[in-house]
Amino acid sequence: MGAMRKLVIAAFAFFAMTVQALAAPANLDDISDYLETLKSVSADFVQYNPDGSQSTGTMFLKRPGKLRFEYVGENSPLVMIGGGQVAVFDPLSNEPPFRFPVSQTPFAPVIGRNVDIGNTRFETHLMESGDFTVLNVQDPRYAEYGYVSLVFDTAPLQLRQWVVVDGAGQQTAIALTHIKTGVSIKNSIFNIRHEMRARGFEIK
């Protein structure tokens, strides 16, 4: 279960990379306002894993509360968010997808109907160091799962990467390319029950 949850946290990180550029100086309100403008997004992603390997795929976002991460490659996982739940489909397993509430992730405030990062139960820390600005986000109720960091260039302010730091201190970095906003995306691709039926799982 721990490995699955880390995979999901890494997947959420792809969405945050859509915050590409904010007017300096940035604060939590700046970031919240920008996220509010993102209604639908598609993008390719590259995930840099702790063991030095890379994973690639395509991300789809539709606010409020819908995300889909399709990893490239045979027997690759699928991560879906819809209906207030996170689901991870593992094609190598005959078991139904691993699921848990979106509210148990530190990314819940940025995919909701209203984005207000500075006014949530999550702990945030904004700091500047040389040429970089870093925003850390952590849910204090699940501190054992680590935290996530947005890393911005300071002059001009531009998001360069999202780093996921797990409870063991291992880091996963994620970058997006070919970002498209305002795209038309069908709601059906975020329907977890629909995906389960398509894969032959019984719906309870």
Is residue 25 scored above 60 in pLDDT? no
Residue 61 has pLDDT above 50, yes or no: yes
Q: Which CATH class is domain 2-198?
A: mainly beta
Mean pLDDT of 159-181: 80
Position 22 confidence tier, pLDDT thresholds 50, 70, 90: very low
Residue 200: what pLDDT? 85
Q: Which of these, 66, 104, 98, lies nearest to 188 by C-alpha position?
A: 66
Residue 119 has pLDDT above 90, yes or no: no
| Whether 176 contacts 158, CB under 8 Å | no
Of the given ranges (10-19, 46-55, 141-150, 189-198), which has the lowest mean pLDDT?
A: 10-19
Please give the average per-residue pLDDT across 108-134, as a whole number. 75
pLDDT band at 24 (very low <50, low <70, confident <90, very high): very low
Return the bridge partners of 62, or none: 40, 66
Would you say 10 and 54 are in contact if contact means Cβ atoms under 8 Å apart?
no
Q: Residue 190's pLDDT is what?
A: 96
- What mean pLDDT value characterizes the chain? 79
Q: Tell me the average pLDDT across 118-136.
A: 75
| Structural tokens at position 180 | 């498209």
Q: Which of 5-14, 62-71, 125-134 has the lowest mean pLDDT?
A: 5-14
Q: Is 151 exposed, middle or buried (0-12, 13-18, 19+ CB in 10 A)?
A: middle
Please state, in angstroms and rounded to a whole number, the distance separating the CA atoms of residues 68 and 202: 21
pLDDT value, residue 175:
83
Please provide the DSSP assignment of the chain as one string: -HHHHHHHHHHHHHHHTT--B-PSSP-HHHHHHHHHT-SEEEEEEEEE-TTS-EEEEEEEEETTTEEEEEE-STT--EEEEETTEEEEE-TT-SSPPEEEEGGGSTTHHHHSSS--GGGSSSEEEEEEETTEEEEEEE-GGGGGG-EEEEEEEETTEEEEEEEEE-TTS-EEEEEEEEEEES----GGGG-HHHHHHHTTPPP-
**Predicted confidence band at 144 (pLDDT cuts at 50, 70, 90)?**
confident
Percent of the chain with pLDDT over 90: 25
How confident is the model over 177-184, as a mean pLDDT?
87
Count of all residues that appear for the chain in the document: 204
Average pLDDT of span 150-175: 73
Q: Is a pLDDT exceeding 70 seen at residue 52? A: yes
Tokens of 188: 């059906």
pLDDT at 189 > cutoff 90? yes
Round to the nearest angstrom and report the end-to-end CA distance of the chain: 21
Which among 150, 110, 186 has a CA at the least distance from the CA of 21? 150
